[in-house]
Structure 1
Amino acid sequence: MAPGWGALALLALAAGAAGGPRYSADWASLDARPLPAWFDEAKVGVFVHWGVFAVPAWGSEWFWWNWRGEHRAAYERFVAQRYPPGTTYADFAPLFTARDFQPRDWARLFQSAGARYVVLTTKHHEGFTNWGSPVSWNWNSVDTGPHRDLVEELGEALRERNIYYGLYHSLLEWFHPLYLDDKKNGFKTQNFVFQKTMPELYDLVLRYKPDLIWSDGEWEAPDTYWNSTSFLAWLYNDSPVKDTVVVNDRWGQNCSCHHGGFYNCADKYKPGTLPDHKWEMCSSVDRSSWGYRSNMQLAELMDASSIIRELVQTVSFGGNYLLNVGPTKEGVIVPIFQERLLSLGEWLGINGEAIYASKPWRVQVENSTNNVWYTSKGPAVYAIFLNWPRDDMLKLSSPIPSSDTEVTLLGFSGTLKWKKSPDKGLLISLPYIAPSVLPMQLGWTLRLEGVK
């Protein structure tokens, strides 16, 4: 066991409880672990990308890499025009103040958005940690910038509202000397992993007991370099969250869409058909960035209708939907992001029955002008349609009706009239609804009972 994290590992073992199946440090064993049920039932999460990149707030959260890694002219010009000569990326850290960060306000907003879990960046590829990492001296939110443990504060606020807490963590750091040295050695050495990555992962788990670990930054090296299977075996066997924690699939360049817990596969992944493995789509309100950009334009943002469409498609195919916002350096979630989140929550307030704890139905989508997507829960089938038919008659080809079939519209009292379609399926008479009665014009849900 490498020096620098042996003590942490011993603490970790002491924190774990005995009992239950033991997993060995290989993918065949680890991939056989059942996914804790809470994740599939949750369906909707909010992603938060927050770090020093919120200070320049320009381009994207990859600002440092684009500026110093690729020396892009636009980024060099931006810094030259706005900051003193000789400015380094480290100079941005004291300006990352989080002065207006109110974790309870965030938690209230995320709950109002309908989120059942929240994932915060504890450390992005820039290496700055949003907690007092013992192996990130002076490059963390306690030693500089906010002088606050942002990971802890948000976690406490979320747990007051019974929202599951996920921690995003980048395995790599673009410019860390130990990582660059390992890279130069063809990843045959693991000094960065054992002196930086592993101590941080153990520290995060033991300190904050996360419900989810959202790993990233894996793509340059295989899982054997990252020590991934050994860490996950400890996480599943002996950690304080061994029975409840969920992880994704970014544990090495060979893992995405193949190994881990649920699959992300790629950013903004859309499978197109029903996968045979639990998955999650991560998306961002700002289509051009995950971190906050002060120069973003309205046309570059997802509107509420696009968000609902992505959510419905994702859940119909058995996925979870993780929607990202990037706060400012002061810790403000800007009003346009709040508005998008609240629109999602308002829609879920009416239609959430068809989303939360639902399962994919035997048919996921109908090819029709009305864009109908299906989910199910027990004997009920839900048909979510994103376009209201002009003649107020909705044809559903896939459900097979019976004499016991009942059709209701979520958010509207009473049952709806229907008849068998001449070819197959149902013809449903939709009610005339004044906008004031059912204001959400972003998609509607029919509950079908007594259909096959």
Structure 2
Amino acid sequence: MPLPHPARVAAVLLASCSALAVAAPAASAEYLPTRASLDRHVVPAWYSDAKLGIFVQWNGSSVPAYAPTRRGQRVGGFPYTGVSNYAEWYWRNAAFSGSPQQKHHARKYGARVTYDDLVKRWKGERFEPRRWLQLFKDAGAKYFVLVAKHHDGVALWPSKVSDRTTVKMGPRRDVAGELMKEARRFPSLRPGLYYSITEWFNPAPNPSLTPDAEDSASNSLLWKATAPNLVTGKPVPYTGYKPVSDYAKGLVVPQIRELIRRYKPQVLWCDIGGDADYYQSNRWISELYNTVGDRAVVNDRCGRTAHSDYTTPEYSIYEEVHREPWEATRGLGFSFGFNAEEERNDNYVSSDYLIAVFTDIVAKGGNLLLNVGPRADGTISPKQASRLRDLGRWIRVNGQAIRGSRPWTQARDDGQALDASPERPGPDQSTLAPGDRVVGFPFDKPTGTRFTVKPRAFYILRMGWPGSKLRVRAAVPVREGDRLTLLGNGNAPLRWTREGGGLVVSMP
């Protein structure tokens, strides 16, 4: 019997299992800007229970909305050319002579149009925060993260230390403020903000950047260039810049404190963290906790030695169950920002793929932070929205196996091959345990069976309908007298038997 649309994964419930141990939250106390103090912070239950968040990347790059792609390209796995795929990296990539973005800019806009001229064309005239948030809720998300400032340095709020903001440029609106205010009408969605610590072309002195730095966050060849004309290469003004004597003290620290004090985000999502001492990362992380409370979380990109609550593999997942909090992040295609090429060629993952990889991530103990890239006018394309709604419909049927669940001792059934792409670049991981190894998203939809648990409940999630019999090889904790039911199919018990240490379930 088919499951209710779009229930493409069959979720089977087992009751009367052993209760899970749940960490008790630490007693609330003022946090000091030290690792010893900050590391007392316990990841709040809401975050571990949420499973799905929505990332929103929206800036001036939505005007050219360009990164190279091709029809029929497989959009699982790791981006085939790394950040060159990212439409939101348009300015930086177009600054490289001979790049596809540079050729595109010369052909479409010419030398008279700078990146900041494109920002001026970014109007957001159809931006309606309520529509965004309703879509995120319909997708089954429990939190969202708005990119409040990306690497182009344009802040989406009225910053006191810079006029390079959406109040002075582009939409002429407090985009972050409007979205955060409207979020009060959606109490089931926890609000979050992303902040890029480093900028590509900010002219402020930044002694943390060196030309021979091993990590990209401190490499001046990438982050300390002069803002260029994208055809001639000649320097152009960095619109809205207010001169400061030091990049961290004059811009980064005050801007992050503005975000914390103005909007009180429950998720602070940093990027390109670099030198934590230079950026005073632990100081403003302590301010976040002391201002927002223990419900706040911060990711692992605020600085090399900064405190963090969870890891954030990008276009990547852990190979097996990872016991520490983690969050996989990716777009529906290979860009975070809107890419008209992806839209035209339908280079988005399918709803089936999305549901399957989401299930795989949850079974390994992670969250999925799924990105949408609005168009320059502020609307989210129907192709992107349809994937989100399909995921939401599946969660409404099968969410009992997802929300508030925790990983079992293994993520997938015995004998099943790893669903992953080996193409992810990075350091050698051969000495790491499987649960600590990071691999690329699978090129194709994951298959097989996954497991999750709750107190007194065990869930078997099958990728696709198994036919008349669901066979599980793993020694799942089903005992005589336990009752199995199919989510979305009423409460009728299913017949089951043991077979060779595994389980055979008769499907309705």
Q: TM-score range by the shorter chain?
A: 0.7 to 0.9
Which deviations, in whole Å up to 9, do the C-alpha atoms of 1:280-335 show, x marking residues without a partner?
1112101x211001111545211111111111111111111111110011001000
Aligned to 1:145: 170
Match of 1:404 in 2: 481
User: 2:264 maps to what in 1?
Assistant: 209
Please give the secondary structure, in 1, of the residue aligned with 2:504.
Answer: strand
Q: CA deviation at 1:253?
A: 3.7
Which residue of structure 2 lines up, in the alignment, with residue 261 of structure 1?
309
Tell me the alpha carbon deviations over residues 358-390 of structure 1, each in whole angstroms, 9 at most, x when there is no partner: 111233211356611111121011111003224
Cα-Cα RMSD: 2.2
1:242-253 mapped onto 2 (5 Å cutoff): 242-253=293-304
The DSSP-based 3-state class of the residue aligned with 2:458 is: strand
Residue 119, structure 1, aligned to residue 145, structure 2:
yes
Kept in 2, the 8 Å contact 1:247–1:262? The answer is yes
Q: How far apart, in 1, do the equivalents of 2:293 and 2:453 lie? A: 30
* Equivalent in the alignment of 1:53: 61
Separation in 2, partners of 1:146, 1:129: 11
SS in 1 for 2:374: coil
- Name which of 265, 285, 298 aligns with 1:232: 285
Residue number in structure 2 paired with 1:67: 94
| Deviation of the 1:119 alpha carbon | 0.6
Match of 2:236 in 1: none
| Cα displacement (A) at 1:346 | 0.5
Q: What pairs with 1:12-411 in structure 2 (closer than 5 Å)? A: 20-59=28-67, 60-68=87-95, 70-137=96-163, 139-162=164-187, 163-178=189-204, 183=209, 191-218=246-273, 221-237=274-290, 239=291, 241-253=292-304, 259-264=307-312, 266-286=313-333, 288-296=334-342, 297-298=344-345, 300-367=347-414, 371-395=448-472, 397-411=474-488
Amino acid at match of 2:490: S
SS of residue matched to 1:363? strand
Shift of 1:126: 0.5
Q: Mean Cα displacement is larger for which, 53-62 or 221-230?
A: 221-230
- Count of residue correspondences: 402
The question of whether the paired residues in 1 share the 8 Å contact of 2:471 and 2:502 is answered with: no
Tell me the CA shift for residue 276 of structure 1. Answer: 2.8
Match for residue 13 of structure 1? Answer: none
Paired amino acid for 2:282: T
Q: Aligned partners of 1:274, 1:101: CA distance in 2, in Å?
A: 39
Aligned AA (1:319): G
Match of 1:11 in 2: none
Query: Which whole-Å deviations, capped at 9, do the CAs of 1:140-169 have from their partners, x for residues lacking one?
Result: 111121111111111122220111111011
Q: 1:424 aligns with which of 496, 501, 506?
A: 501
- Closer, same or farther in 2 for the Cα pair 1:106/1:410, shift >3 Å? same
The TM-score with structure 2 as length reference comes to 0.75
For 1:312 and 1:171, the matched residues in 2 are separated by 32
SS of aligned partner of 2:499: coil
1:7 is matched with: none
Task: Name the amino acid aligned to 1:289.
Answer: S
Residue identity matched to 1:421: R
Of the structure 1 ranges 179-188 and 124-133, higher mean CA displacement relative to structure 2 is found in: 179-188
Q: 1: distance between equivalents of 2:281 and 2:354?
A: 33
Identity, % of aligned positions: 32
| 1:441 match | none
Q: Secondary structure at the match of 1:324?
A: strand
Quote how far apart the aligned CAs of 1:184 are: 5.4
Q: Distance in 1 between matches of 2:496 and 2:43?
A: 41
2:79 is aligned to none
Contact 2:146 2:193 in 1 (8 A): yes
Deviations 1:125-147 (A, max 9, x none): 1101111112221x211112111
Question: Structure 1: which amino acid aligns with 2:266?
Answer: D
Which sections of structure 2, spanning at least 5 residues, go unmatched?
Answer: 1-26, 68-86, 221-243, 417-446
Return the alpha-carbon distance in structure 2 between the equivalents of residues 316 and 190 of structure 1.
Answer: 49
CA distance in 1, matches of 2:319, 2:475: 18
The aligned amino acid for 2:408 is W
Moved over 6 A (4+): 185-190
- Which residue is equivalent to 1:444? none
Paired letter, 1:75: Q
- The equivalent of 2:227 in structure 1 is none
Q: 1:251: Cα distance to partner?
A: 1.5
Instruction: Show structure 1 runs of 5+ residues with no match.
Output: 1-18, 432-452
Determine the C-alpha separation between the residues in 2 that align with 1:243 and 1:402.
39
Q: Which has the higher contact order (CA 8 A, sep 6+)?
A: 2
Looking at structure 1, the residues matched to 88 and 99 of structure 2 have their Cα atoms a distance apart, in angstroms, of: 17
Alpha-carbon distance in 2 for matches of 1:191, 1:417 = 66
Q: 1:314 and 1:136, CA in 2 relative to 1: closer, same or farther beyond 3 A? A: same
**Contact 1:366–1:398 at 8 Å: present in 2 too?**
no
